[in-house]
Amino acid sequence: MHKALGEVQDALEAQEQMIEDLRTDTGDAQRTDPDPVSLPADPTSREPLSSLTAREREILVLVSQGKSNRRVASSLGISEKTVRNHLSAVFSKVGASDRTQAVVMGIRGGIVSIGE
């Protein structure tokens, strides 16, 4: 049981690092390029995102900042279980299979901005 939990934690940390790397790479590109090219928001990617509640959007933004469920829960004053429930709802509504994919969809849909 502890081994499985450790593997899950390692996977979450790897995803969080990928998100942070994406944020850093984009931030570096924006600093070095005086006229950065921004990705156009895909109108079809906004449709599923429009069904997200304000709290689900808030959690998606915090996750995009590389925060773990525990840190998101602490920031919002809610339980980790509630964060997991909200993330499950986000995944279901936007058709994402994990937090990284949900964040990418949030970026493309204009809910999540990189570099802030």
Q: Phi then psi for 25, rounded to 5 degrees? A: -60, -45
Query: Does pLDDT of 34 surpass 70?
Result: no
Q: How many CA atoms lie within 13 A of 40 on its CB side?
A: 3
What pLDDT score was predicted for residue 93?
93
pLDDT band at 45 (very low <50, low <70, confident <90, very high): very low
User: Rounded to whole angstroms, how far apart are CA atoms 86 and 96?
Assistant: 13
**pLDDT single digits (tens) 57-94:** 999 999 999 999 999 999 999 999 999 999 999 999 99
What pLDDT score was predicted for residue 113?
83
What pLDDT score was predicted for residue 26?
55
User: What pTM does this model have?
Assistant: 0.61
HEC readout, the chain: CHHHHHHHHHHHHHHHHHHHHHHHHHHHHHHHCCCCCCCCCCHHHHHHHCCCCHHHHHHHHHHHCCCCHHHHHHHHCCCHHHHHHHHHHHHHHHCCCCHHHHHHHHHHCCCCCCCC
Average pLDDT score over the chain: 78
